Structure 1
C-alpha cells in the first residue's frame, strides 16, 4: 500500500505535469513524416485520449531539432472566428521572421494578422471575387511558412474549426511547400455530419508524405507508469488495476483521478482508492465532453441516450426505444443521432450502449429522479417480457426503484441462475449485496453465504470476500452446515494463497461441520489429502475417507473431485499409471462442475509433470487446462494453468520478454500468490545466471517465504536449490550446506524425492565442499532408493550429476561419464540451463585427466549459456577455456572497435542495463573492479549515456541498421 501525506505535500496536477508515458510508437509515427517534409499527418481520437499531449510532445521534439513549430487551436464557439486557428499560429511567428524582405505574396496577410503587418510587404487590393481572395490568402500562408521552413504548422481540435480555416487547410495540404509539415488533430465523432476533417476527401499528392494516426486507450502498463509518475514512487498492482478499471485506459480520466487521490491524501490501496474515486464521481474533463455532445441532441436523441444510461448494458434497438418511450420510427431516428455524435456506439450483435462506463454515469446523474424511476420501471417491464429474462439486470432495476424486498427475491434468483450458468462474477456481486442488507432474513443470508463460499473458491481474487464471510461466521443463527461451507472456502483460500497451515486447520474444522453432508465433507477431506508435507501415507488416508464419503452417491462433481485428487497424488508419486488414467477424464459435456474437476486434474498433473521432468507433457497439460477451465468457467484454475505455461517457458530457456509477461499477469491478478512465487523463482534463476548474486538471493528468499506458507513442496524446494547454488558460487560451502539440510529434511519427511531435481546435486556439491563426504554418499544412496520404479527423469538426471560429483576427485573419467549421462537426460527433457551446467561439470571432470577432452563439453556449455544470456556462467566457462589453454589467440592481434562496443563492453552494458553494481559486474565476468570501472567508463562514453539510461541507449543501438 502506498500512502501520501496530503495535499500540502502533493501539489495539484495540471495537464502536462506528468511524464509522457506510452505513445512512443505513435510519437515515432507522427515524427517520421514530419522529419521528411512535405508531409500531412492527421491525428484522430476521442475526447480525453491524449491527442493534445501527443502534439505537444511532438512539438517539443521538433523544436529540439531546430524546427519551427507554430500551433493554433480551435474552440467550441457559437460563431467561430474566421481563420481563428491560423491567426493563433501565425502570429507566433513574429520572433522568427527573417531579416530579409518577405515574398510579395505574404502581403495578403496584413488584414488577417495586424501583428505581422509592419514586417509584411504592401497588401494587394481587395479582390471582389471571394475565390480569388481565398487563393491569395492560401498563397500568402504558404509563402510565409516556406520562408520560415523547416517548419511545422499544428492545428489542434479541428472538429471545431471554422469553414474558412478548413478550406484554407485543404488547399494548403494539396500543395504544401517543400519543407513544411502540417498536423491536424481532431475528434471524428464531433465533426459535422458526413464531413471529413478537411471538408473534402484528402489524398496525399505525389511527393507529399504523411499518415492518418488513430489513438487508442492506454494499456494497463502505461496506466501504471502514469500513476508512478504522479506519485513519485512505483504504483502498486492493486492501485493500477483500480485506475485502469475505472478509466478504461483514457488518459484524461487517469490524470484527473490521480489528481483527486493526491489532493485528498491518505492511503492508496485499491479499496481505499476505489472508494474515493467513486465518491468523486465523473472526472470533470470527461463530464464536460459528454455534456457538450449531449447538449446538441434533439429531444428524441436525448430520450434514447437516457434509456441507454438507465439500462447500463448493451441492448437491442427495440429495448432501447421501448424504455425511452418512443415509437420505432422516432426511436430509430434518435438512436441514429446518438450513434452519429458518438454518445452511443454499436457494441456488437446489433446492441447499443455507451463506449465508456463513466460517460454513462455522467448522463445518468443528469436524469431527474421521477423520470429515472419511470425509465427503470419501463426497463423491468420490457426485460421481463423477453425470454430468457436477464435476471441480473431486472434485479438491479428493481433495487433502483426502491423495492428492497422485491430486489432480495430477484437477487437470489439471479445469483442462483448466474452460478448455474458459470457466471461467478455476477453471482458474487449479487451475493455480496444480499449479505450486506440488514433486511435479509436468516434463511436468505444462510443461502447467500453458502453460495458465495462456493463461488469464492473458484475465483482469482477472494480478498474482498474473505472479510465478509468471516463476518458472516459470527452470526449465531447460521446453520452448522453453512458454517462448514464458509470455513471450507476460507480454508481453501488460505491454503492456496498466503497461510497454508492455518488454512488446513480451517479445512479440518469444516470437515467436522459438514459431517452431516458426506458429499460436501468429501471436498474438505480432498483438500486435506493434498497436504504434501504430511507424506503419502497421510495423503492416502484422507483420500480414502473422501472416497468412502461419496461411495454409493450418484456420479457427479464430488466423485469427479475425488478422481482428480487421486490423479494428483499419483503424479506426486511419479507413478506412470497416471498418464493413462488422465486420458479417461471428460473434456466436454453439459456438467460444468465436472469439467471444472477435469481442469483441476489437468493442471495439478501438469504442474507435477514440470517438477518431474516431463516438460513437454507439462506444457500440453497446462494449455489443455486453460481451455477446459475457460469452457467450464473456472478462473482460478485457468490462472494457475497460465502460470504453468510461463513456467514451461522458463524451463525451456525462452527467457526473452518473460519478466514482462509475468508482470502483466501479476497486474491483472494482484492478489495471486502463484504468480508471485513463480515470477520470483524465474527472476532469481536469471539474476544468478547473470552474476547478480545479491539480487538473486533476494528473489530466492522471497520465493522461499512464499513456499513456507504452502502445503506443497515445489516452490520451497526450488527456492532452496537456488540459494544453495548462489552460496556455492560465492564460495560459501558451509552456508550452502546449512541451507540445503532443512530442504532435504522436508523432502525426506514427504518421501518426495521425485521432486528433488535441482536440489540434490547442489546439496551433494555443498556437502563435499563442507567436508561432509559420508553424508553426501548416504544422500545419493537414499535418493536412488527413493527414485526406484518412479517416472521422474529430472530427478534421475540430477542424481546422475550428483554421482559424478562424488566420483570427480578419485575417478574423474567415471565422473565425466556420469555428468555426460546427466547432460543427455536434461537435453531429452528440454532444459538448456541444467544441460549446460552438466556439460560444464563433464568438462571439469574430463580436464583432470586430459584437458583436450574438456574442449567439446566446454564448448557445448558455452553455447548453452550464450543462448540463455547467462553472462556469469558464460564468463566462468570462458575463463576455464583460457586456463586449460583451449583458446588460441588470433594471429592478427586484438581487433580495434572504434566507437562500437566490443564484445566485453556489450556484456558490461547488458549488466548495467539491469542495474548491476560494479562489484556485481566484476563477480559476473570474473574481472577486477578496476577493470570494470574502465569498461563502464568506455561504455558510457561510446553510448553517450548516463548510467541510469543505459537500457534506453541499448534499445536505440539495436534499432540502428547494422
Structure 2
C-alpha cells in the first residue's frame, strides 16, 4: 500500500487500501447472543438505530457459531434461516419469510408434509405439484392466517430450521409479525427466534414488543440494545479498515464527534475521505490532512451521496436502478432497469461493487450494503427518470415466475401506469387475503379506491374486499368514505348500484362510529337491495342492533323482523345460518324471547371443515348471549364448543374470544381459583383483538376490586371505561363498578355522574339486559341523593319491571328483586327489604352467581338488624363471611369480620368447613345437579367444573338428600319442578 514514508505532509490512501471493517466493540453482546442460542430455545430481540450494527452482530454470530447448516447429534438437520424485511411502503404478505424459504429450499416433495401444507399454495405457486391439495376455503381471515401459520411451522420443522432470524422487523408486514407471535407461542417443537429492529420505527402496539412475553416459560429471553461505539472502538473500527494501521487519537476523536460513533456512519465517512484523498499517513499513523479544510459529513446520507456522485455516470445509473428495485437483484435485472449498454455495464458493475456501495449476497444477487444508502440514492433521482426506471422494472418483473405481485404493483404505481397498477394491486390484495393478511390487502385496495378514478361497480367490488376495523384503521376508512361519496356524487349508478355503494358506505361509517350517518345510508340502501337478500338482510340486522346511540326499541325490532323475511329467501345455507345468529343476537340483546326460537333453528354441525369456523362463531355468539341472560350452564356448553372448535382447527381469534368469555363466566359463577393467572395469560394473547382484550381487562379489574386491590381496580376500570367505544357492555359494567366504589366512599355525586350517561343509553334503546349491574347501583345512588332522587329511582325500577314483564331473563329477575329491596329499605320497610334480599339471594344462587348472592345476604342481615332481629342477623352475617372467604373476596371478608367483631363475635377464628346452606342447595350443588339434567356422567361433570368424580358424587348425594330424592332421574325432575334447571 502507498504512504509508508513518514513526513509532515504524508501520502493519501488509495481506494483499494480501504477494506471492510472488522467486528469491533460488540464482544459482550456476541457472547450473550451465543449463550442464549446455545443453551436451548431462545427469543432474542436486537434493537438499535439505523447503522448501529444489528445485522453485523447477527452475521458475526452466524459465522462464528456452528449453527448454520450443521448436523445435530443423531443426524437431525439443524440450520438457521435468515429473512430480511425490505423497506417497502407496502410490504408483501410474509414476503421476507417466503423469499428466504424459497431460496433455501429447492424441493418439498420428499419432506413428508401433512395435508395442512396445502395452505402454502398461494405463497409458493411454483411448488404446487409437490404440495398437498389446497384445503377447503374458509371466509374468516384469521382462520386462513392461522391455518397458513401452522403449515409454515411444519415446513420450518421439516426443513430442519432451528433458528429463524428476521432482520429489520420494523419493515415487516403484519402477517410476518403475527407469524412470529404464533411461532413463539407454540408449545410443540420449538424454534429459536432472533429479531432485529429499530425501536424508533416500531408502533407502540407492535407485535415485536410482545414476542418475548408470549414465549414458553422454558425459553431463554434476551433483549440486546446496541448503542454507539466509544472513541476507542471507533479508532479500532477505522484501523481495521486500514489494514490494522494505527489511527491518531486526534483523528479518532474527530471522527467520533462527527459520526456519533454509529458504525455505518464511521465506515461511510472513512470511505468518502479515502475517495477524496482526505486521509494521510504521518509518523506511522493515519491522520486527516488539514483539520480546517476537511468537512466530514455529519449524516450517512451526505456521505453516501458524495461517494455516489464521485462515481462514473454509468455507475450512477446502475446504482439508481438498484435503488429503484430495492430488493437484492440479478445482474440482468439491474441492467434492464438501468438500460446500460454492454460496453458500459461491466465497468459500472465493477466500480459499484468496488466502492462497496453495492454488495454481492446470496445467489450472486446485488443490493446496497445498507438500506439507508439505497434510500439516499433513490431520493436523489429526478422524478422523470425515476418513473422511467420504475416502468422498466415493472416490465422486466412481469416475466418472473412466480410474479412478485406487490413489487409489480409498487413499480407501476410509481411509474404512473394506472391500468397495470390496478391489475397487480388487486392480484396482490387477493393473495394477501388468501394468506389472511387483511392489513396489506386493505392498504393495496385502499390506495386504488382513493387515488384512482374507477367505475362505481369496480369501487364497490374492491371496497367489499377491504376488511377493516376501527379505530386502528380510522384514517384509511375515512379515505374510503370520501371516495365512495365522490362516486355517488359524480357517477350515474342506477338504483341497484347506488344501493350497493350506500350499503358499503353505511358499514364504513358505523366502523368509525358515525352512527347516524351510517344508519342513514343503510336505510337508503335497503329498499333497492332486494336483488341481494344476503346484503339486504345484513343491512336490516345492523339497523336492528341497538348500538352507539339511543334507538327506540320498536325501531330495532322492526328491522330485525324485516330481516327474517329476507333470510327466508333462497341463499347459501352458510349465509343463512350466519344471518340467523346475527339476528338472534340482535333480538337477545333487546331481551326478546324470540331470539331463542331463532337459536333453535341453527344447525350445530357441518359436513365441511370450511364451515367449522362459522359454527365456532355461532357457538360463541350464543354463549355470550346465554351469559348475559343468566343461562350460565347453556353459556358454558356453547363457549366450550366454540373453544374446542377454535383449538382443533385452529382459529386463534375465536379461541381468544371464547377464552375471554369463559373467564367472564367464571367470574360471574364464582370460579375464582386460578382465574387471575389465566386472565394474565389471556391478556397477552388478546392484545391484538380490541374487544377481547377489553373484556379480559374488565374481568381482571373486577376480580382485583373484590380481592381488595382497590387502586389497581379503579385505575384499570377507568381505562376500560375510556376505551370501550367498541364494547358498550364493557362500558356499562365498568361504570357500574366504579359507581359502586364511589358509593362505598360516600361520593354520591361521582356515582351519579358515572351512571348517568350509560343509563341514558339503556333507557333510550331498551338495552336493559346489559344494565343488570348498573341499574341497582344507579338506584342506590339516587336514593342517597335525596327525595328527588328517590322519585327517579322508583321510576327507574318501574321501567325495569315493565321491560322484564313476560320475559324469562334469570339475571334480570334477580336484579329486579335486588332493586325492590333497595327501595323498601330506603322507605324504612326493613322486614320487607330483608325478604326481598333473601329472594334476590335465592335467585342469584340458582344461576349461580355467588358473589351477588352473598352481597344480597349481607344487606339482608343489615335489614334484620334494623328490625332488632340480631339473633337472625348475626348467623347470616357469619355465613356471608364464610362465603366471601371461600370465594376469595378478601376486601369484603375483612369488612364483615370487622362488623362481626363489633357485635362481639369472634370472626377471626378459622372454621373447619364452610357454613352449611341448611335445606337449600349450595351454588356448587346447583351447578352439579343442573348438569345431571343434560344426562352427563360424573366424569363429564367433573371435566366441565374442574372437579374430581368423587367430589361430584359428594355434591350429588347432598343435593338428593336435601331435595328428598334417591335417584339422578328424580333429582332432574325435581330441579325442573322447582324452576332451578338450566334454561334451554
Q: Scaled by the length of structure 2, what TM-score is found?
A: 0.49
Deviation at 1:841, TM superposition (A): 1.9
Query: Are residues 638 and 411 of structure 1, via their aligned partners in 2, closer, same or farther at CA, if it must alter by over 3 Å?
Result: farther
- 2:414 matched to 1:431? no
- The alignment partner of 2:563 has SS state of helix
Aligned to 1:801: 818
Paired with 2:684 and 2:525, the residues of 1 have a C-alpha distance of 36
Deviation at 1:656, TM superposition (A): 1.1
The answer (yes or no) to whether the contact 1:717–1:756 under 8 Å persists in 2 is: yes
Deviation at 1:529, TM superposition (A): 1.0
CA RMSD of aligned residues (A): 6.4
Query: Are residues 629 and 430 of structure 1, via their aligned partners in 2, closer, same or farther at CA, if it must alter by over 3 Å?
Result: farther
Match of 1:885 among 901, 904, 909: 904
- 2:486 matched to 1:474? yes
> Which aligned pairs between 1:67-106 and structure 2 lie closer than 5 A?
none
- 2:241 matched to 1:241? no
Query: Are residues 621 and 548 of structure 1, via their aligned partners in 2, closer, same or farther at CA, if it must alter by over 3 Å?
Result: same
Deviation at 1:758, TM superposition (A): 1.7
> Which aligned pairs between 1:427-466 and structure 2 lie closer than 5 A?
427-435=441-449, 442-443=454-455, 446-448=457-459, 450-456=461-467, 461-466=472-477
The answer (yes or no) to whether the contact 1:643–1:674 under 8 Å persists in 2 is: yes
Aligned to 1:571: 588
Match of 2:426 among 412, 415, 420: 412
The answer (yes or no) to whether the contact 1:494–1:503 under 8 Å persists in 2 is: yes
Consecutive unaligned residues of structure 1, counting only runs of 5 or more, are 1-14, 31-39, 52-75, 77-156, 161-186, 202-212, 257-282, 290-309, 314-342, 345-351, 892-962
Deviation at 1:844, TM superposition (A): 2.4
> Which aligned pairs between 1:226-625 and structure 2 lie closer than 5 A?
238-241=203-206, 244=209, 251=223, 383=401, 405-406=419-420, 408-413=422-427, 415-416=429-430, 424-425=438-439, 427-435=441-449, 442-443=454-455, 446-448=457-459, 450-456=461-467, 461-472=472-483, 473-475=485-487, 476-478=489-491, 480=493, 485=500, 487-489=502-504, 491-495=506-510, 498-511=513-526, 519-531=534-546, 533-548=550-565, 552-555=569-572, 559-560=576-577, 562-575=579-592, 578-579=595-596, 581-582=598-599, 584-585=602-603, 587-588=605-606, 601-622=618-639, 624-625=641-642
- 2:64 matched to 1:190? yes
Aligned to 1:664: 684
> Which aligned pairs between 1:837-916 and structure 2 lie closer than 5 A?
837-848=855-866, 849-866=868-885, 870-887=889-906
Match of 1:718 among 710, 730, 733: 733
Query: Are residues 398 and 587 of structure 1, via their aligned partners in 2, closer, same or farther at CA, if it must alter by over 3 Å?
Result: farther
Paired with 2:517 and 2:390, the residues of 1 have a C-alpha distance of 49
Query: Are residues 512 and 634 of structure 1, via their aligned partners in 2, closer, same or farther at CA, if it must alter by over 3 Å?
Result: farther
Paired with 1:559 and 1:885, the residues of 2 have a C-alpha distance of 65
The answer (yes or no) to whether the contact 2:834–2:860 under 8 Å persists in 1 is: yes
Deviation at 1:611, TM superposition (A): 2.2
Query: Are residues 563 and 867 of structure 1, via their aligned partners in 2, closer, same or farther at CA, if it must alter by over 3 Å?
Result: same
The answer (yes or no) to whether the contact 2:581–2:622 under 8 Å persists in 1 is: no
- 2:797 matched to 1:790? no
The answer (yes or no) to whether the contact 2:720–2:730 under 8 Å persists in 1 is: yes
Query: Are residues 496 and 686 of structure 1, via their aligned partners in 2, closer, same or farther at CA, if it must alter by over 3 Å?
Result: farther
- The alignment partner of 1:542 has SS state of helix
Match of 1:761 among 776, 779, 791: 776
- 2:852 matched to 1:834? yes
- The alignment partner of 2:206 has SS state of helix
The answer (yes or no) to whether the contact 2:779–2:793 under 8 Å persists in 1 is: yes
The answer (yes or no) to whether the contact 2:567–2:576 under 8 Å persists in 1 is: yes
Match of 1:822 among 840, 847, 854: 840
Paired with 1:413 and 1:43, the residues of 2 have a C-alpha distance of 41
The answer (yes or no) to whether the contact 1:523–1:561 under 8 Å persists in 2 is: no
Deviation at 1:241, TM superposition (A): 0.8
Paired with 2:688 and 2:521, the residues of 1 have a C-alpha distance of 28
- 2:711 matched to 1:690? no
Q: Scaled by the length of structure 1, what TM-score is found?
A: 0.50
> Which aligned pairs between 1:76-225 and structure 2 lie closer than 5 A?
187=61, 190-191=64-65
Paired with 1:479 and 1:253, the residues of 2 have a C-alpha distance of 58
Query: Are residues 551 and 193 of structure 1, via their aligned partners in 2, closer, same or farther at CA, if it must alter by over 3 Å?
Result: closer
**Once the two structures are superposed, what CA deviation does each residue of 1:21-63 show, in whole Å capped at 9, x if it has no partner?**
9x9xx99x99xxxxxxxxx996997997599xxxxxxxxxxxx
Deviation at 1:364, TM superposition (A): 11
Deviation at 1:528, TM superposition (A): 0.8
Query: Are residues 699 and 371 of structure 1, via their aligned partners in 2, closer, same or farther at CA, if it must alter by over 3 Å?
Result: closer
Task: Flag the structure with more relative contact order, 1 or 2, with Cα contacts below 8 A and sequence separation at least 6.
Answer: 2
Deviation at 1:650, TM superposition (A): 4.2
- The alignment partner of 1:618 has SS state of helix
> How many residues get paired?
619
Aligned to 1:117: none
Deviation at 1:858, TM superposition (A): 3.1
The answer (yes or no) to whether the contact 1:655–1:868 under 8 Å persists in 2 is: no
Paired with 1:420 and 1:216, the residues of 2 have a C-alpha distance of 25
